[in-house]
Structure 1
């Protein structure tokens, strides 16, 4: 996946200014595809140059605030990309390699790092569960809502799996 497609997806869901898009990105798609606000603004300029999005000045707003919306060519690109063949994701997980290495060398106490990761995954799980409770108190009626819930539930399942993995690794390291 590429950042332009993540931004096009967000703009297809709802137009907005660059700052609104960056905030929405942090709260939703950013959980699955990370980008800095600077990267988002640079990509918005590229998307506008490609005529995939349009920016209009926001009257009365301080500075050069602009509101972005997806154009038909951007929607066509998003449709093309969404329908293209998808390569299975490659696992590239530094923790897995570090744990394998810990079987061969003495890295010292890895439990502090695993505790830190465990706390991170617990906090992320709590965030996802709060979003689910707030945004999906009832099953969505629309296809869009159902797909958004499916993605959120996958994030919840991922965080639960990582919590279980970190707990198992900690138990092993503490009681070999």
Structure 2
């Protein structure tokens, strides 16, 4: 996924200021696509130049001169083109898996502490996903858009659950041998 397309998709969901968009990346989108505030502002400038988005001064925030970015039809077309034409990369690089391969070849490299840290991070992320699930998807009926967003969240939940189960299996293999 490219950062410009992630930003366009977020703006299609809800026109936003750069600040509000960066906060959305920090709180939600960033769980599956990371972008720094600097990257977001840089890309917004490029997208304005490319004619993908327009900038509207927020009348309610006249004192702050807040700019709200909205996707133009050509930006929407770019997202559709990108979705249709960009192949998925099956070469997923996971550094910890690479470290495990090194451990398999070289011998014990002391990965237990790192695995424990990753488990804690993944448990925290799973807890966050569950909070989002309860907060945003508890309604009896959801719109198609909400159902798709929920499906994305469920993919994250399932991924975390699967990764944690896998880590439980790997843990005995990386813990120091008992003498």
Same fold (TM over 0.5): yes
Superposed CA deviations along residues 100-121 of structure 1, whole A, max 9, x for unmatched, are: 1112224542111110000000
2:156 corresponding residue in structure 1 = 155
Superposed CA deviations along residues 37-74 of structure 1, whole A, max 9, x for unmatched, are: 10000000000011110112234445542111111111
2:28 corresponding residue in structure 1 = 28
DSSP-derived class of the 2:33 partner: coil
Task: For structure 1, list consecutive stretches of 5 or more residues without a partner in the other structure.
Answer: none
**Matching of residues 17-166 of structure 1 within 5 Å:** 17-59=17-59, 60-84=61-85, 86-138=87-139, 140-166=141-167
Deviation at 1:78, TM superposition (A): 1.2
DSSP-derived class of the 1:67 partner: strand
Superposed CA deviations along residues 12-59 of structure 1, whole A, max 9, x for unmatched, are: 001011111111122222211111010000000000011110112234
Deviation at 1:161, TM superposition (A): 1.5
Distance 1:110 1:30 in 2: 26
DSSP-derived class of the 1:103 partner: helix
Answer whether contact 2:51 2:72 (CA < 8 A) is retained.
Answer: yes
Task: For structure 2, list consecutive stretches of 5 or more residues without a partner in the other structure.
Answer: none
Distance 1:123 1:62 in 2: 39
Q: Aligned in 2, Cα 1:140/1:75: closer, same or farther, shift over 3 Å?
A: farther
**Equivalent residues, number:** 176
Normalised by the size of structure 1, how large is the TM-score?
0.91
Answer whether contact 1:139 1:146 (CA < 8 A) is retained.
Answer: no
Distance 1:88 1:138 in 2: 35
Deviation at 1:77, TM superposition (A): 1.0
1:6 corresponding residue in structure 2 = 6
Deviation at 1:145, TM superposition (A): 0.9
DSSP-derived class of the 2:106 partner: coil
Normalised by the size of structure 2, how large is the TM-score?
0.90
Q: Which moved more, 1:135-144 or 1:75-84?
A: 135-144
